[in-house]
Amino acid sequence: MKKIDISMLLLAFLVVLLFILVGLAIAFRNVWAIILCIILAFSVFGFAMSRKKKRKG
> Based on the structure, what is the number of domains in the chain?
1
- Render pLDDT for 2-52 as a digit per residue (tens, 0 to 9): 899 999 999 999 999 999 999 999 999 999 999 999 999 999 999 999 999
In a domain, 2, yes or no: no
In a domain, 20, yes or no: yes
In a domain, 45, yes or no: yes
In a domain, 34, yes or no: yes
Residue 57 has pLDDT above 90, yes or no: no
- Judge if pTM exceeds 0.85: yes
Report how far residue 38's alpha carbon sits from residue 6's, in angstroms, rounded to the nearest whole number: 24
DSSP secondary structure, 17-55, as one string: HHHHHHHHHHHHT-HHHHHHHHHHHHHHHHHHHHHHHHH
Domain region containing 30: 13-56
In a domain, 1, yes or no: no
In a domain, 4, yes or no: no
